[in-house]
C-alpha cells in the first residue's frame, strides 16, 4: 500500500485543463452573445433593428403629420429651416412642398431629418406608381441598396391637396 | 500505481451541464430577438393602418361614394370603392362597417349599419380598431340666390369638421339664426374650420365668408346629408 498523499496528479492536470477550457469557452460565448458592439451578437441585431425602425417611423410621422417650421419652409435656405413637413393644412399634403422635397440637397434633407447617409423617401399613388409633380418623381435621399442586412421601411397614407387623392409616403432607413 | 482516469462520469456530467447552459443562453437570446422583431413589425402595421383609416375617411372620393350610397342604397358600388381604395392600403385582412344616425338632433352615436364588409382571411382574434366620424356632404356647390361660386366648402371628416377657403366664417340655419357650433377662424392661414355638431340636422346651412372681421366676401352652402361613422378593423 502506498501511504503517500497524492495532490499533484495527472488526473488533476487533465481535469484542470478541461475545466479551464470549458469555463473560458462559456465566458467568451456569453460575452459574444451579449456584446452590443459585436455585429454577430443578437443584442447588436436587436438594438440596430429597433434603432432603424424608430428613425424610419419618426421621420415618416414628421413628413406626413406636420407642416414644418417655418410653415412656408420651401422659401427658406436650409440653415433657416427648423423642420420640414409636407402638410399644407391639418390634413392635406402640399404638392409644392412635395416638389421641394426633391429639389432640396440630400445633405440638407439628411441634416433636417437626422437620417444620416442611408435613407430614402418616396411617394406613391395607390396603384403603386410613383407620384410625379411637374413630371418629376417625388422621391428623395439615396437609392435603396439590395440585400442590406439591416433595413427598415415604413409607410403612411395621406390625402394630397386638393383632397381627392390618397398618397403613400414610404420612408426607408438602412445600415 | 493507479491508471490515470480521464473519461470519468464527473467529466461527462460537467460537460452536459455546461453545454446545456450554453444552449439555453443562445435560445433565450434568440427568442427575445425574435420577439423584438415581431413587435417592431406589428407596430409598423398598426401605424400604417391608422394612417390608412384616417386618409380613407378624409378623402373626397369617399364622401362622393357615401353620398351615392345614401342616395341609391347600392352597396355593390360602394364595395367596389372600398376594395380599390381601402383594400389597396391595408396589407392584412380587414373589416369595415358604416353606421348612420337614427336620431338626429341628439348627440348619440350613429347606430344603423348601412354597409358591412369583411375581407377574406380576417380574424376576430387579432386586429386594431379605428373609428372615423364623417360628414356626408354633397361637395358640389349648392348656392342660394346670392352665393359666391369662388368660395368652396371642403369637408374635413376628422371630428366632423368642414373648412371654407376664407379666414373667417359664420354659419346660419335657413331661417337666418346663427348655429351654436364652434367655428375656428384662421388668422394666419386662409381656411376657417366649422366643427359640425354631432346633434346637427341633415339640411342646408348658409356659410358667410369674411376676409377679416366685418369684411364680408360672400357666402356658400354647407349641405349636410348625413353624419356617419366608419368603423375599420385592420388585421394585425
ipTM of the complex: 0.81
Q: Which of A92, A172, A158, A59 is nearest to B52 (CA)?
A: A158
**All cell numbers assigned to B56:** 380613407
In B, minimum Cα distance to A154 occurs at: B44
B63-77, B103-117, B145-159, B182-196: the lowest-pLDDT one: B145-159
Q: What is the pLDDT of residue A132?
A: 94
CB atoms within 10 A of CB A92: 22
Cα A175 to the chain's mean position, in Å?
A: 7
Main-chain dihedrals φ then ψ at residue A92, nearest 5 degrees: -110, 140
Averaged pLDDT of chain B: 83
Is 70 exceeded by the pLDDT of residue B149?
Answer: no
User: What residues form DSSP beta bridges with A152?
Assistant: A173
What's the gap in Å between the CA of B129 and the closest CA on chain A?
A: 17
Q: Is cis: bond before A162, omega within 30 of 0?
A: yes
The span from the CA of A67 to the CA of A64, in Å, is 8
3-state secondary structure labels for all residues of B178-222: ECCCEEECCCCCCCEEEECCCCCCCCEEEEEEEEECCEEEEEEEE
**Is B36 within 8 Å of A90 when comparing Cβ atoms?**
no
Is 60 exceeded by the pLDDT of residue B155?
Answer: no
**Is B43 within 8 Å of A57 when comparing Cβ atoms?**
yes
The arithmetic mean of pLDDT across residues B31-48, rounded, is 85
- Give how far Cα A126 sits from Cα of A123, A143, A155, A158, B89, Å: 10, 21, 12, 11, 7
Best residue in B8, B58, B67, B132 for a mutation probing chain A (most A CBs within 10 Å): B58
Cβ(A68)–Cβ(A59) below 8 Å: no
Helix axes B60-72, B75-89, angle to 10 degrees: 160
pLDDT digits (tens, 9 = 90+) for B111-123: 999 999 999 999 9
| Residues of B whose CB is below 8 A from A46 | 32-33, 36-37
In A, minimum Cα distance to B87 occurs at: A126
The arithmetic mean of pLDDT across residues B222-226, rounded, is 85
- What tens-digit pLDDT sequence spans chain A (175 residues)? 455 666 667 777 877 887 788 778 777 777 776 676 776 676 777 888 889 999 999 999 999 999 999 989 999 999 999 999 999 888 889 999 999 999 999 999 999 998 888 999 999 999 999 999 989 999 999 999 888 888 899 999 999 988 889 999 999 999 8
The arithmetic mean of pLDDT across residues B71-93, rounded, is 95
The arithmetic mean of pLDDT across residues B55-65, rounded, is 90
Q: What is the pLDDT of residue B144?
A: 45
The span from the CA of A118 to the CA of A155, in Å, is 17
The span from the CA of A119 to the CA of A112, in Å, is 12
Q: Tell me how far apart the terminal alpha carbons of chain B are, to the nearest angstrom.
A: 72
The arithmetic mean of pLDDT across residues B200-223, rounded, is 84
**Is B25 within 8 Å of A30 when comparing Cβ atoms?**
yes
Cβ-proximal residues to A65 (8 Å cutoff; 6+ apart), any chain: A85, A87, A156
Most confident of A64-68, B142-146, B150-154, B223-227: A64-68
Is 50 exceeded by the pLDDT of residue B105?
Answer: yes
Is 80 exceeded by the pLDDT of residue B148?
Answer: no
Q: Is cis: bond before A70, omega within 30 of 0?
A: yes
**What percent of chain B is predicted at pLDDT more than 90?**
31
Confidence class of residue B87 from pLDDT cuts 50, 70 and 90? Answer: very high
**Is A164 within 8 Å of B59 when comparing Cβ atoms?**
yes
3-state secondary structure of A118: coil
Which single residue is written with the C-alpha cell 357666402?
B219
Is 50 exceeded by the pLDDT of residue B145?
Answer: no
What's the gap in Å between the CA of A158 and the closest CA on chain B?
A: 5
Q: Which of A170, A48, A83, A66 is nearest to B44 (CA)?
A: A170
**Is B33 within 8 Å of A46 when comparing Cβ atoms?**
yes
Task: Give me the long-range contacts of B212-216 (CB less than 8 A, separation at least 24).
Answer: B212/B167, B212/B168, B213/B168
Cβ(B227)–Cβ(B200) below 8 Å: yes
Amino acid at each position: 500500500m502506498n501511504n503517500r498523499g497524492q495532490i499533484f496528479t495527472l488526473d488533476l492536470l487533465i481535469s484542470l485543463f478541461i475545466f479551464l477550457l470549458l469555463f473560458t469557452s462559456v465566458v467568451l460565448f456569453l460575452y459574444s452573445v451579449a456584446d452590443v458592439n459585436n455585429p454577430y451578437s443578437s443584442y447588436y441585431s436587436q438594438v440596430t433593428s429597433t434603432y432603424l425602425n424608430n428613425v424610419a417611423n419618426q421621420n415618416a410621422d414628421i413628413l406626413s403629420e406636420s407642416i414644418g417650421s417655418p410653415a412656408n419652409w420651401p422659401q427658406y435656405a436650409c440653415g433657416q429651416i427648423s423642420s420640414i413637413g409636407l402638410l399644407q393644412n391639418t390634413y392635406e399634403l402640399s404638392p409644392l412642398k412635395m416638389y421641394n422635397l426633391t429639389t432640396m440637397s440630400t445633405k440638407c434633407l439628411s441634416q433636417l431629418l437626422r437620417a444620416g447617409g442611408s435613407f430614402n423617401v418616396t411617394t406613391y399613388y395607390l396603384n403603386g406608381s410613383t407620384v410625379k409633380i411637374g413630371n418629376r418623381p417625388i422621391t428623395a435621399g439615396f437609392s435603396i441598396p439590395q440585400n442590406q442586412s439591416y433595413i427598415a421601411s415604413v409607410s403612411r397614407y395621406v390625402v394630397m391637396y386638393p383632397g381627392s387623392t390618397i398618397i403613400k409616403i414610404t420612408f426607408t432607413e438602412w445600415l | 500505481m493507479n491508471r490515470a482516469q480521464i473519461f470519468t462520469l464527473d467529466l461527462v456530467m460537467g460537460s452536459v451541464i455546461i453545454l446545456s447552459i450554453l444552449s439555453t443562453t443562445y435560445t433565450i437570446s434568440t427568442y427575445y430577438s425574435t420577439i423584438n422583431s415581431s413587435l417592431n413589425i406589428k407596430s409598423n402595421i398598426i401605424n400604417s393602418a391608422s394612417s390608412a383609416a384616417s386618409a380613407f375617411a378624409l378623402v373626397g372620393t369617399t364622401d362622393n361614394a357615401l353620398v351615392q350610397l345614401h342616395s341609391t342604397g347600392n352597396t355593390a358600388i360602394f364595395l367596389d370603392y372600398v376594395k380599390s381604395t381601402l383594400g389597396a392600403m391595408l396589407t392584412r385582412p380587414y373589416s369595415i362597417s358604416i353606421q348612420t344616425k337614427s336620431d338626429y338632433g341628439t348627440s348619440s352615436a350613429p347606430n344603423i349599419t348601412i354597409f358591412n364588409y369583411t375581407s377574406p382571411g380576417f380574424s376576430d382574434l387579432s386586429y386594431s380598431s379605428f373609428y372615423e366620424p364623417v360628414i356626408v356632404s354633397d361637395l358640389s356647390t349648392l348656392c342660394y340666390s346670392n352665393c359666391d361660386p369662388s368660395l368652396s366648402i371642403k369637408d374635413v371628416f376628422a371630428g366632423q369638421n368642414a373648412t371654407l377657403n376664407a379666414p373667417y366664417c359664420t354659419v346660419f340655419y335657413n331661417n337666418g339664426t346663427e348655429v351654436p357650433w364652434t367655428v375656428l377662424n384662421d388668422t394666419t392661414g386662409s381656411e376657417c374650420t366649422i366643427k359640425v355638431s354631432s346633434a346637427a340636422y341633415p339640411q342646408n346651412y348658409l356659410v358667410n365668408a369674411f376676409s377679416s372681421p366685418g369684411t364680408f366676401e360672400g357666402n356658400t352652402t354647407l349641405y349636410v346629408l348625413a353624419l356617419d361613422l366608419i368603423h375599420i378593423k385592420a388585421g394585425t
